Amino acid sequence: EEFRTHAGEVVNPYLILKVRRDADRDEIRESYIALSRRYHPDGPEGVRSKGVLPGKCNSLEDVREEWERIKLSYEILSDKK
Higher-pLDDT residue of 23 and 45 is 23
8 φψ region: left (φ > 0), alpha (ψ -120 to 50), beta (else):
left
7-20 pLDDT, tens digit per residue, is: 788 889 999 999 99
36-69 pLDDT, tens digit per residue, is: 888 887 776 545 556 667 777 888 788 888 888 9
pTM over 0.85: no
Residue 24: its pLDDT value, please?
Answer: 94
Whole-angstrom distance, CA of residue 35 vs CA of residue 57: 13
- Please check the confidence at residue 75 and state whether its pLDDT lies above 70: yes
